[in-house]
Structure 1
Amino acid sequence: MFSNINTDLEQLNNNLRKISGPRHPILYAAAEYLFSAGGKRIRPAIILLVAKATNTKEQLYDEHKRLAEITEIIHTASLLHDDVVDNCKTRRGLDTVNQKFNNKVAILAGDFLFAQSSWYLANLNNLSVVKIISKVITDFAEGEIEQGLRNFDPSSSLDTYMNKSFHKTASLLAYSCKAAAILSGADSKVQKHFYNYGKHLGIAFQIIDDILDLEGTEKNIGKPQGLDLKNGNLTAPTMFALDKCPELKEMIQREFTEKNDIQLATQIITRTNAIKQAKDLAKEHAQASLEYLHSYPKSQSIENLKLFSYNIINRIS
């Protein structure tokens, strides 16, 4: 999927590792640790591919490359804050920044990255892009508040979950895809198509993550299993199971305070068809993302973008 952007992704990784510079030793150490930990760099890869797909010459401008970096910086900053809020101790199989250093350093590092992304954004000198990417940072905060207010609330609706998922995950991908099209000089119709591609793909990503929280292992998801349940974050599989299992509602209302509650709740959810329903929902959004690519001429970039959607569908089939 990265075949025609590998060199650009390597340069992106090098730039990310240098982001804080040596002036702030603690922030430098945190950023170096964070970005050296790797990650799939899915979001910047998608942005670079959209940039090529919406450019008549299939080339990347410096602004596209900077946008890809901004997208990954914002995503990483949000993870730093999430790890503190969720008291998460591992990510990608390594200690989180809050675990390796402390919560204060993690929060400050996240704030620094948000500020750095804003500085890079302003220097793109494109007001339309500044406006829509700035909205992403607002959406992150709104999503986190929505989630916090609904913790351990079995009356939460699927609509509430989808709204939160857009704000916390899909917004970044949707608006960044649109921004890449804007920087390519694409018209409003093309911008809207790629916004919707990113939106549906982002929602599918989030649902898959929520399924893996119940089905995965710490080794293959890079963080402790059942963390969402433990923190009272009710995701799609849990909501589907709630309709069928009154005992699950009781566990949620007592905030899983009894011994083995998390283990029992996981078993309850997995023995219903709730996981399948969640997978079907993820597939729907992955299929929807493909709909916005069908009208574009065949190119390596478009085919690689389609592979992201197909991989989700094949992964959960």
Structure 2
Amino acid sequence: MLAIRRQLVSSQSKGILTRSRYISRYNSSVATGNVGSTVNTFKTAVETAEKLVQPPSSKIFNDPFSIVSHEMSNLAKSIASLIGSGHPTLNRVSSYYFEAEGKNVRPLIVLLLSKALSNIPLDQRNRIKIDTYDVTDQPHYQGTPTATSVAGKSVDDSISPLAILHGINPRVILDPLSKPMDKLPSFDAVNGILPKQRRLAEIVEMIHTASLLHDDVIDLSDSRRGRPSGNIAFTNKMAVLAGDFLLGRASVAIARLRNPEVIELLSTTIANLVEGEFMQLKNTVMKNEDTNIIDNDGESKSIPTPTGKVPTEQHEYSITPPQQVDHITNVDAAFEYYLHKTYLKTASLMSKSSRAAAVLSGSQDDIIEKCYEFGRNLGLCFQIVDDLLDYTSSDATFGKPSQADLKLGLATAPILFAWKEDPTLGELIGRKFNQPGDVEIARNAVQKYKGLEKTKEMAEQYCYKALDNLRVLPESDARSALEFLTNSILTRTK
């Protein structure tokens, strides 16, 4: 019995099970007469505990995909209908990353969270009016008294006439350059996920994939998801244009959600991705706004001097030169810069899409805020682990070039922790490890000062915060799957 208790406590500490679920299931067996003696009581307790720790009839704790397997299995096909280009080469490049097996973490989070939110009683989800299409009757768009509100149309209907959207008459041209989007299936009362939430998951993956196409060009990557990256398989120009096209088609789908709050959230994530990429180009707070930049080929380029016609402000992280500031201040500022960049590049899309899923569910403000915080903490944890794996994984395991951050001159958490112990590393970080021997010195310092172990501890802290955020949701299989998924990020190898 002590061993069983230890199993349960261990499971609780990982966020997979809760004591109340164990008690409620056990009490249910008592109420139905399944427990009739001391022996049977003990046997029932053992069987209940075993089912909780290792449920034989469900894979949800081993595979969070199983709860939303139908939606996930149709994800790529649904996205293909949203891309809708009549140009065969553009279709090929745009769909290239969807062909390979990716992690699909972002749409999975949206779908699982949407299912978990559906367990909140309807009378507590009245922030907006929801129905099978989450159509609101709020006057978001004002017009004449007899005008029909745009919010009253379904996600499948275009707002403008198709002939205007496509620039041609779609009834005459059978294969227009931009095909109309396929219709969403109707609401599944059993599954509990609204069609707009399903569309949200597809949009999120489109935005993420567009950023991958752009990032691989910027980082000169040669592999992605175990095969040649888009810029290698096609060309830099095609990869960039395909990423732009995905963002354009995602923007159309965002508009058709017809919820101004969600439109604002998702549109902001696109800007955040670019902001984060620019922060990564600068890398740290080691200098004031650079007048010169160094591209991936090592070539120095001078930035044109502002004319003053358009006001330009320094970034909030611009500080005085490092020689005028103490070492610890510089390291602390560098960590703040790193976490902000990480939020913009990774956590922004996870956090704002989680918030959008909660908004579409009709949940109240406190639930919406916790969903946002969950996505934020999960996103930070995810990227910090990603930065950790860059030091520890092989190319074959990682699915993309490993140990690339230092080669690209990027100062991530492991080297920042080492810099905290060794002030001389600041010079290497400042010059982006571009001198012979810099990368090897940095790797040795990370090992010497336990940068990887400290980075793992940082990721764990964000993991625990994310788990705590989920406690605002009712207990359900979907919430348990989210908890398991959150924990599994710490142990992932790719």
TM-score interval for Structure 1 and Structure 2 normalised by the shorter chain = over 0.9
- Structure 2 residue corresponding to 1:168, chosen from 337, 341, 345: 345
The answer as to 2:311 corresponding to 1:178 is no
Structure 1 residue 246: Cα displacement: 4.4
Residue of structure 2 in register with 1:280 after alignment:
457
Residue of structure 2 in register with 1:64 after alignment:
197
The answer as to 2:122 corresponding to 1:50 is no
**For 1:314 and 1:94, how far apart are their aligned partners in 2?**
24
**For 2:284 and 2:93, how far apart are their aligned partners in 1?**
29
- Structure 2 residue corresponding to 1:131, chosen from 250, 260, 264: 264
**For 2:193 and 2:279, how far apart are their aligned partners in 1?**
37
Residue of structure 2 in register with 1:229 after alignment:
406
Do the aligned partners of residues 167 and 257 (structure 1) sit closer, same or farther apart at CA in structure 2, a change above 3 Å counting? Answer: closer
Bigger Cα displacement from structure 2, 202-211 vs 246-255: 246-255
- Structure 2 residue corresponding to 1:93, chosen from 226, 234, 242: 226
DSSP 3-state at the match of 2:86: coil
**For 1:89 and 1:133, how far apart are their aligned partners in 2?**
29
**For 1:255 and 1:143, how far apart are their aligned partners in 2?**
17
Residue of structure 1 in register with 2:275 after alignment:
142
Do the aligned partners of residues 117 and 288 (structure 1) sit closer, same or farther apart at CA in structure 2, a change above 3 Å counting? Answer: same
- Structure 1 residue corresponding to 2:98, chosen from 16, 35, 38: 35
**For 1:285 and 1:256, how far apart are their aligned partners in 2?**
29
User: Which stretches in structure 2 are left out of the alignment for 5+ residues?
Assistant: 1-63, 120-188, 287-321, 323-329
Q: Does the CA-based 8 Å contact 2:351-2:374 persist in structure 1?
A: yes
**For 2:82 and 2:448, how far apart are their aligned partners in 1?**
46
Calculate the aligned-residue CA RMSD, in Å. 1.9
Bigger Cα displacement from structure 2, 203-212 vs 214-223: 214-223
**For 1:225 and 1:313, how far apart are their aligned partners in 2?**
18
DSSP 3-state at the match of 2:426: helix
Do the aligned partners of residues 152 and 188 (structure 1) sit closer, same or farther apart at CA in structure 2, a change above 3 Å counting? Answer: closer
The answer as to 2:251 corresponding to 1:188 is no
Aligned letter for 1:195? Y
**For 2:116 and 2:69, how far apart are their aligned partners in 1?**
16
**For 2:362 and 2:427, how far apart are their aligned partners in 1?**
54
Residue of structure 2 in register with 1:200 after alignment:
377
Do the aligned partners of residues 22 and 147 (structure 1) sit closer, same or farther apart at CA in structure 2, a change above 3 Å counting? Answer: closer
Structure 1 residue 8: Cα displacement: 0.6
Structure 1, residues 282-313: CA drift from partner, whole Å, max 9, x if none? 00000000111123321011001111221134
Structure 1, residues 156-214: CA drift from partner, whole Å, max 9, x if none? 61000000111110010001011111111111111111110000000000000001111
**For 2:285 and 2:258, how far apart are their aligned partners in 1?**
44
The answer as to 2:399 corresponding to 1:266 is no
Structure number with higher helix proportion? 1
Alignment length, in residue pairs?
316
Structure 1 residue 270: Cα displacement: 2.3
Do the aligned partners of residues 225 and 315 (structure 1) sit closer, same or farther apart at CA in structure 2, a change above 3 Å counting? Answer: closer
Structure 1 residue 264: Cα displacement: 3.7
The answer as to 2:398 corresponding to 1:216 is no
Moved over 6 A (4+): none
Aligned letter for 2:75? L
DSSP 3-state at the match of 2:406: helix
**For 1:98 and 1:48, how far apart are their aligned partners in 2?**
30
Do the aligned partners of residues 186 and 267 (structure 1) sit closer, same or farther apart at CA in structure 2, a change above 3 Å counting? Answer: same
**For 1:159 and 1:256, how far apart are their aligned partners in 2?**
21
DSSP 3-state at the match of 2:343: helix
- Structure 1 residue corresponding to 2:86, chosen from 14, 19, 23: 23
TM-score by length of 2: 0.61
Percent identity, please.
Answer: 37
The answer as to 2:485 corresponding to 1:308 is yes
Structure 1 residue 221: Cα displacement: 1.1
The answer as to 2:243 corresponding to 1:110 is yes
Q: Does the CA-based 8 Å contact 2:285-2:334 persist in structure 1?
A: no
**For 1:107 and 1:257, how far apart are their aligned partners in 2?**
27
Do the aligned partners of residues 255 and 160 (structure 1) sit closer, same or farther apart at CA in structure 2, a change above 3 Å counting? Answer: closer
**For 2:409 and 2:383, how far apart are their aligned partners in 1?**
16
Structure 1 residue 151: Cα displacement: 5.8
Structure 1 residue 250: Cα displacement: 3.8
Structure 1 residue 80: Cα displacement: 1.1
